[in-house]
Amino acid sequence: MYPVELEQHIRQGKSQDVEFLPSVPAPQECARHAAALANTNGGILILGVEEPARIVGVDEQQARAAVEQAQHHLAPCPEMKVEALAVQGKTVVVVQVAASEELHAAMGGYFCRGTGSAETTRPMNPTEIRLHALKGKTEDAALSRLAKAVADQSRTIEKQGDTINKLNRECEKANSLWMKIAFVVGGIVAGVILKYLVG
């Protein structure tokens, strides 16, 4: 993309296929926007621009790292191209996301771009998911794609459940009676040593 073309997108503002973010987003947020663009008509995510059309710039390395990490939250990962451009003396990072007939999930959820006055990333409803799965496919192929999407989502939920169980076990261990006794004894010993040093 040429800087002139990018400036034109910035002047035109947000749309169904253009999203602005003023700073480097968390990888999860970047993944949601990428999935939404791929699930709609493709488009570009521009980092370093805030509305209305004000270029603020971002750190290129941090932006590239966030996009790279976002790819780990996408299943399957859509085709993405990342480039940095200098506009008005500031670095703007552009993520071009290709449209796809595949259904792309971000952290187990399905997202799309709104239309009209609601040109934002939002969760897809069941009808939209079904219609996307049917796009250009026979009903059998669409059912196969939906079954794969549900299986992917189930695996994501299972991973999240395992993580929650692990955190619960660690919290229980941290709150155990022996751990509390160890902290009390450690506090007493530290107090005695401090009293000895001060006295």
Q: What is the pLDDT of residue 101?
A: 84
What's the confidence (pLDDT) of residue 153? Answer: 66
71-106 burial: b if 16+ Cβ within 10 Å, else e? eebbbebbebebebbebeeebbbbbbbeebebbbbb
- Amino acid identity, residue 79? E
* pLDDT at residue 191, as a whole number: 73
Q: What is the pLDDT of residue 6?
A: 84
Contacts of 39 (CB under 8 A, 6+ apart): 100, 103, 104, 110, 111, 112, 113, 124, 132
What is residue 117's predicted lDDT score, i.e. its pLDDT?
57
Whether the model clears a pTM of 0.95, i.e. scores above it, the answer is no
**What pLDDT is attached to residue 3?**
77
- Do residues 32 and 121 lie in contact, with contact meaning Cβ atoms separated by under 8 Å? yes
Pick from 47, 122, 54: nearest CA to 85: 47
Give the C-alpha separation, 180 to 174, whole Å: 8
Average pLDDT by stretches of 10, the chain with 199 residues:
82 88 93 94 93 89 95 92 92 94 88 76 86 72 69 70 78 72 76 73
The Cα 105–Cα 121 span in angstroms is 13
